[in-house]
Amino acid sequence: MRLPNITNHSVYKVSKQKRPNIETLIREHRFDLIINIPSPEGNGQTKTDGETIRELTVAQNIPLVTDIEVARHMSEKIKNHEHGM
């Protein structure tokens, strides 16, 4: 993903068992905030990458947003704050 003025890097999913993966970066406290929106794709038996990400985020005391509307609102507020609005 390429967005103007936003630095980003690709990392592997937790389930890929390769490095760097999102689990490692969460454990290293490389994020100030994580937005992870649950999807209805889970089968109820196998833990999804999203569930693992959310559990790790809470365990590491990193703020977590799981609602798309809250995420949109927060991103607008952050953008406006950075631009002095």
Res 84: pLDDT: 73
Res 85: pLDDT: 65
State the Cα–Cα distance between residues 78 and 60, nearest whole angstrom.
23
Res 28: pLDDT: 95
State the Cα–Cα distance between residues 30 and 9, nearest whole angstrom.
12
Q: Could you give the domains of the chain?
A: 14-82 (3.40.50.1380)
- Rounded to two decimals, the pTM is 0.76
Res 27: pLDDT: 94
Res 53: pLDDT: 94
Res 42: pLDDT: 62
Res 46: pLDDT: 79
Low-confidence ranges of the chain (pLDDT < 50): none
